[in-house]
């Protein structure tokens, strides 16, 4: 158990033994340390400034950000990478709300995270008498996260933190809110009683073993397939069951399609990878096995023309959440359990005589994939100025190939969709991106946490708009001297930099200042800034940054005309029937 910090209370009357005391501040820190939480992502202020200071003094790494949303995103992705809840610490009302976006996003993406916010006086808040930063934070957080708790007494801190940890990581992981009122921190109690009140969470995410009958049913369906497909989602990446997942996919011989954050679970260059034949496999498959992937909008809900409707596909789904089954289409073989336990059970039940996947199908997928890769190749070699997306991404693809351990962060529209297709990943959990919501603003928070949690070099490939949502954190990157290289695909705007406002003098809604030099922002904080106008220059600059580990920002000048509206999802835009084209 961690050594609880204590204070000696002076004797009140002569001869009385000194009582060892602790307080709310120390109990929170001791409870976190006892549970192996060694990093806090933080923005200081009343009432948690001293908590951050004291946590740092007690050996917890406290990383202070410029905005809570970025600290929250950092905590969320730390949770994804480590399977321990990432902790974000904020002040009350506005700080809490800033962190809440990240908490909701973490919950949607099934990342385990705890948002700890200080809050104002309960009595004043509940009577709505206008306290400093008054807000009923617990009530507001509840619908946006997996669980929400408030601790009113120092003696309950241990239990409160234990509940938060369990809620975040057990079952389907998600975001948890923990409300700590200002008064709690100064509450004093006997140190020994305080120590005893702490809880070390045992087996925080217990294995959930699938039923043998469910495993057999799934394998029977898979075996009956003529054109089987396996789809790996980020739940499979989270599971850290990398060897078993690879063994299962390889033993099955079935083509696999990785969702974007599952890329690298098996290398994108693996002979069974169907990433470059995505539309073919979705359309033509007859049995689809989902492993830690949901049939949400990212997979067109499992129906419609992308799936070759009318079809009679059969779906097998492996997921920890029973309610996920039949959420969009019928699941003929649900396998409910944690991904690690499920995949190892599937692997064991396959036995030694598992038949090879039908050769006409695997051959057809391979042919399509090679055709598409060949079509793409010349686009990736264009060395022009200004660059187009493919030319710039061709350079970055080589950088990642040469550094498979580096972590790639990616957000934007064209910058995201094209990078996802072009940049091959080779190892698990190396690609972190906008996830289920397609949210902008994860960039610098994810980059910082990825560097802190893994110690590996980080390459953040950012649209110029996407970067703007968290751009101030380049100061944080410089302050902590993190090995982060940010590449901004600067096309002067959102989707394209060429829009014109037909009605007046204001700029069009999607364009930014032309010819901006984002590299100068990095120089302002002592980092390295580079302006790159060709793929060769870009490659050289990224190589230098990745080798040196110095905080670097490269302004990659992209032709403003080369993107398309909303990247690959322009079809989701509603259309006005009245608007004249």
CA 272 from chain center: how many Å?
26
If phi > 0 it is left, if psi is from -120 to 50 it is alpha, else beta; for residue 351 that is left
Provide, rounded to whole angstroms, the least separation between the CB of residue 385 and ligand TPP.
Answer: 18
3-state secondary structure string across 59-81: CCEEEECCCHHHHHHHHHHHHHH
What's the gap between Cα 557 and its chain centre? Answer: 27
Answer yes or no whether residue 489 interacts with ligand TPP by CB under 6 A: yes
Answer for which of 417, 464, 475, 537 binds Mg ion (CB under 5 A) is 464
Alpha-carbon distance of 108 to 492, in angstroms, equals 31
Select the binding partner of residue 466 from Mg ion, ligand TPP, none (C-beta < 5 to 8 A, by kind): ligand TPP
Q: Does 462 bind Mg ion (CB under 5 A)?
A: no
Query: Binding partner of residue 413 among Mg ion, ligand TPP, none, CB under 5 to 8 Å per kind?
Result: ligand TPP
Please, which residues have CB within 8 angstroms of residue 304's CB and are 6 or more apart in sequence? none
- Least spacing, CB of residue 464 vs Mg ion, in Å: 4
476 binds, among Mg ion, ligand TPP, none (CB under 5 to 8 A by kind): none
Shorter beta-carbon distance to ligand TPP: residue 118 or 441: 441
Candidate residues 24, 391, 421, 463; the one interacting with ligand TPP per rule CB under 6 A? 463
Bridge partners (DSSP) listed for residue 116: 89, 178
Query: What are the φ/ψ torsions at residue 180 (nearest 5 degrees)?
Result: -120, 105
- Residue 40, CA atoms < 13 Å, CB-side half-sphere: 26
Tokens of 444: 């610098």
**What's the min distance (Å) between Cβ of 132 and ligand TPP?**
29
Q: Inter-axis angle of helices 339-350 and 212-223, to 10 degrees? A: 60
Q: Is 410 in the site for ligand TPP (CB under 6 A)?
A: no
Q: Is 495 in the site for ligand TPP (CB under 6 A)?
A: yes
- Under DSSP, the state recorded for 433 is E
Q: Does 471 bind ligand TPP (CB under 6 A)?
A: no
Site string for ligand TPP, 385-404 (x = CB under 6 A): --------------------
Per-residue interface string for the shown chain with Mg ion, residues 406-445, x marking contact by CB under 5 A: ----------------------------------------
| Span near ligand TPP by CB under 6 A; candidates 167-175, 212-220, 392-400, 412-420 | 412-420
- Rounded distance, CA 28 to CA 184, Å? 10
Q: Check binding of 197 to Mg ion (CB under 5 A).
A: no
CA 236 vs CA 123, 251, 565: distances in Å: 45, 17, 31
The pair of three-digit structure tokens given for residue 257, joined into one six-digit string: 């399609």
Among residues 35, 105, 272, 414, the one that binds ligand TPP under rule CB under 6 A: 414
413 scored as a contact of ligand TPP (CB under 6 A):
yes
Given the complex with ligand TPP, which of 256 and 489 has the nearer CB atom? 489
- Site for Mg ion (CB under 5 A): how many residues? 3
SS3 291: strand
User: ∠ CA 575-280-346 to the nearest 5 degrees?
Assistant: 115
Q: Which of the stretches 237-245, 285-293, 443-451, 486-494 binds Mg ion when contact is defined by CB under 5 A?
A: 486-494
Choice from 415, 534, 555, 562 touching ligand TPP (CB under 6 A): 415
Type and span of the H or E element at 560: none
C-alpha distance across the termini of the chain, in Å: 69
Q: Is residue 441 within the footprint of ligand TPP (CB under 6 A)?
A: yes
User: Considering only residues 344, 491, 552, 562, which one is a binding residue for ligand TPP as defined by CB under 6 A?
Assistant: 491
User: Encoding tokens for residue 19?
Assistant: 């009582």
Residue 35: which of Mg ion, ligand TPP, none does it interact with, CB under 5 to 8 A by kind?
Answer: none
> Given the rule CB under 5 A, which of 294-302, 471-479, 490-498, 532-540 is the region that contacts Mg ion?
490-498
Question: Which residues, including other chains, have CB under 8 Å from residue 307's CB and lie 6 or more apart?
Answer: 282, 283, 300, 313
| Of 339, 91, 318, nearest in space to 221 by CA | 318
Query: Which residue reads 């949210």 in tokens?
Result: 439
What is the rounded CA–CA span in Å between residue 294 and residue 339?
A: 13
* Alpha-helical regions (H) of 443-494: 443-454, 464-468, 474-479
Does position 491 interact with Mg ion (CB under 5 A)? The reply is: yes
Site string for ligand TPP, 192-211 (x = CB under 6 A): --------------------
Interacting span for ligand TPP (CB under 6 A) from 11-19, 56-64, 255-263, 487-495:
487-495
Question: What CA–CA distance (Å, rounded) separates 274 from 255?
Answer: 6
78 is a contact residue toward ligand TPP (CB under 6 A): no
Q: Which stretch binds ligand TPP (CB under 6 A): 238-246, 289-297, 400-408, 460-468?
A: 460-468
Number of residues that bind ligand TPP (CB under 6 A): 18
Residue selected from 174, 421, 457, 463 as contacting Mg ion according to rule CB under 5 A: 463
Residue 40 contacts which entry, Mg ion, ligand TPP, none (Cβ below 5-8 A, type-dependent): none
Q: How far is the CB of 466 from Mg ion (least distance, A)?
A: 8
What DSSP state is assigned to residue 332?
A: S
CB neighbour list of residue 345: distance below 8 Å, 6 or more residues apart = 209, 210, 212, 215, 337
Nearer CB in complex with ligand TPP: 191/440: 440
Residue 412 near ligand TPP by CB under 6 A: yes
Residue 370: helix, strand or coil by DSSP? Answer: helix
Q: Which does 438 bind (CB under 5 to 8 A by kind): ligand TPP, Mg ion, none?
A: ligand TPP
Which does residue 422 bind out of ligand TPP, Mg ion, none, counting CB within 5 to 8 angstroms by kind? none
319 or 464, CB closer to Mg ion? 464
Long-range contact list for 45-49, CB < 8 A, 24+ apart?
Answer: 45/90, 45/91, 45/95, 46/91, 46/92, 46/118, 46/132, 46/133, 46/182, 47/91, 47/92, 47/118, 47/119, 47/182, 47/185, 48/89, 48/90, 48/91, 48/116, 48/117, 48/118, 48/180, 48/185
Q: How far is the CB of 409 from Mg ion (least distance, A)?
A: 16
Considering only 65-73, 304-312, 374-382, 459-467, which stretch makes contact with ligand TPP by CB under 6 A?
Answer: 459-467
Question: Residue 115 binds what, of ligand TPP, Mg ion, none (CB under 5 to 8 Å, by partner type)?
Answer: none
Minimum gap (Å) between residue 406 Cβ and ligand TPP: 21
Residues making contact with Mg ion (CB under 5 A) = 463-464, 491
**Contacting residues toward ligand TPP, per CB under 6 A:** 412-415, 438-441, 463-466, 489, 491, 494-495, 563, 567
């Amino acid at each position: 158990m961690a050594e609880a910090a204590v204070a000696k209370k002076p004797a009140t009357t002569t001869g009385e033994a000194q009582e060892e005391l602790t307080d709310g501040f120390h109990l929170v820190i001791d409870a976190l340390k006892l549970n192996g939480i060694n990093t806090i992502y933080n923005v200081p202020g009343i009432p948690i400034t001293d908590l951050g200071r004291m946590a740092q003094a007690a050996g917890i790494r406290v990383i202070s950000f410029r905005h809570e949303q970025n600290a929250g995103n950092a905590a969320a992705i730390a949770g994804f990478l480590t399977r321990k809840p990432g902790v974000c610490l904020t002040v009350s009302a506005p700080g809490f709300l800033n962190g809440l976006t990240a908490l909701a996003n973490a919950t949607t993406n099934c990342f385990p995270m705890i948002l700890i916010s200080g809050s104002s006086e309960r009595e004043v808040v509940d009577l709505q008498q206008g306290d400093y930063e008054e807000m009923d934070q617990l009530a507001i957080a509840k619908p946006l996260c997996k669980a929400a708790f408030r601790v009113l007494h120092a003696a309950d801190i241990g239990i409160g933190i234990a509940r938060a940890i369990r809620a975040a990581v057990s079952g389907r992981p998600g975001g948890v809110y923990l409300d700590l009122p200002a008064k709690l921190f100064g509450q004093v109690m006997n140190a020994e009683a305080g120590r005893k009140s702490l809880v070390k969470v045992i087996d925080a995410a217990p294995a959930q073993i699938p039923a043998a009958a469910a495993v057999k049913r799934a394998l029977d369906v898979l075996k009956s397939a003529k054109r089987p497909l396996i789809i790996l989602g980020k739940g499979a990446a989270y599971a850290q069951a990398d060897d078993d997942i690879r063994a299962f996919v390889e033993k099955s011989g079935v083509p696999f399609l990785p969702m974007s954050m599952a890329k690298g679970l098996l290398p994108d260059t693996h002979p069974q990878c169907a990433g470059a034949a995505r539309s073919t496999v979705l359309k033509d498959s007859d049995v689809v096995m989902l492993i830690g992937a949901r049939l949400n909008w990212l997979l067109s809900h499992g129906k419609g023309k992308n799936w070759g409707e009318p079809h009679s596909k059969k779906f097998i789904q492996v997921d920890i959440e029973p309610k996920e089954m039949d959420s969009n289409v019928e699941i003929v073989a649900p396998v409910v359990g944690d991904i690690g336990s499920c995949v190892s059970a599937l692997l064991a039940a396959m036995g030694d005589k598992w038949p090879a996947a039908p050769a006409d199908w695997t051959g057809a997928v391979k042919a399509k994939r090679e055709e598409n890769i060949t079509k793409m190749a010349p686009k990736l070699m264009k060395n022009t100025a200004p660059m187009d997306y493919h030319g710039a991404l061709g350079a970055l693809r080589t950088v990642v190939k040469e550094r498979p351990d580096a972590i790639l962060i990616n957000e934007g529209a064209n910058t995201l969709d094209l990078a996802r297709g072009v940049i091959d990943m080779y190892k698990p959990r190396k690609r972190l991106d906008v996830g289920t919501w397609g949210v902008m603003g994860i960039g610098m928070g994810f980059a910082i946490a990825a560097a802190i949690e893994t110690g590996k070099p980080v390459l953040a490939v950012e649209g110029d708009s996407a970067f703007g949502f968290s751009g101030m954190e380049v100061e944080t990157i410089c302050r902590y001297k993190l090995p982060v290289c940010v590449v901004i695909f600067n096309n002067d705007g959102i989707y394209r930099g060429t829009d014109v406002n037909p009605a007046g003098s204001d700029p069009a809604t999607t364009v930014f200042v032309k010819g901006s030099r984002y590299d100068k922002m990095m120089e302002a904080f002592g980092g390295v800034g580079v302006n790159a106008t060709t793929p060769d220059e870009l490659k050289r600059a990224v190589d230098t940054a990745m080798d040196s580990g110095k905080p670097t920002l490269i302004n990659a000048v992209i032709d403003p005309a080369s993107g398309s509206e909303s990247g690959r999802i322009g079809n989701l835009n509603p259309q006005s029937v009245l608007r004249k084209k």
